Amino acid sequence: MAPLRIVVNADDLGMSAAVDDAVCAGLAAGWLTSTTVLANGPTAADALRRVRAFPRASVGVHLNISEFAPLTGGLARLLDRGTMGPASLSVRASDRDAVAAEWSAQIARVRDAGVAVSHLDSHQHLHHLPMLRPVIRDVCARFGISRVRGMGALRPPGTGVRAAAGALRQRLRAERFVATLRRGGLATTDGFASVTVFLAHHARGTIPTHWRTVELMAHPGNPHSPSYAEEVAALTEGEPRGLVRASWWDVG
């Protein structure tokens, strides 16, 4: 069996100087192969300048309607004191045009900084929302982007009937989303997971046998959860056997 190719993507580049420092260090060391930029983040301009030093990495856009000030003026309903907030979780179909304009502005900001956009994903995975899937298709077509993050198919390993049933539902939901992307002419990895969940399944030998590519999501430098530091530690301790690092440019 061919080795499993893993794209190790750091989310949230442009969120803060601490995040940017950690992501750039990971790209320089080689344990990160990819990152996605919060184009409306506080440090996005400097992050886009710095990431150009890593031409072998894939750089995507971390599409955002849930944090920081928007780049456009059409999202007033989703704003809280001038910044995007929890209202984005109740986004409606009537918001599609405004979301498309905002996401287009975010992609354009990365592209106009001289960074080739390899793929798209989203802050808090909002591109999974059914009413926003047409927006993803539209902005991909507009900017000539062909790769999009899939949906997490793995839960933390558990035992018992309820755990097994929940794991099966999650797997099927993720596979339907991947199939939807591919039917729309978009490429994605066979699997997607957090680092810790993936490595737990890898150690048990429970990675789906049909997977040939998988994206692992990491959050270096982000202080919001202790698990984020654990991800970095796991990635820098050594490469598990049977895995080959790749970038999003290798997908599809």
Beta strands in 123-202 (DSSP E): 191-194
Nearest to 122 by CA among 60, 171, 70, 73: 60
Beta bridge partners of 61: 37, 120
Per residue in 117-127, pLDDT (tens digit) is 999 999 999 99
Tell me the pLDDT tens digit for each residue of 206-245.
Answer: 999 999 999 999 999 988 888 888 888 888 876 677 899 9
Contacts of 191 by beta carbon, 8 Å cutoff, 6+ apart:
150, 153, 154, 174, 198, 207, 208, 211, 213, 214, 215
CATH, residue 242: 3.20.20.370
Range of the domain at 66: 4-250
CA dihedral 154, 156, 162, 167 (to 10 degrees): 0
Averaged confidence pLDDT in the chain: 92
Q: Is the predicted pLDDT of residue 140 greater than 90, yes or no?
A: yes
Q: What are the tens digits of pLDDT across the range 160-185?
A: 778 888 888 999 999 999 999 999 99
Per the CB < 8 A criterion, the answer to whether 154 and 176 are in contact is no
Q: How far is CA 232 from CA 34, 130, 176, 184, 224, in A?
A: 14, 32, 30, 34, 14
DSSP string, 70-88: -SSSS-GGGEETTEE-GGG
Number of structural domains found in the chain: 1
pLDDT, average across residues 100-110? 97
Average pLDDT of the residues in 21-33: 96
Tell me how far apart the alpha carbons of residues 19 and 222 are, in angstroms, rounded to a whole number.
6
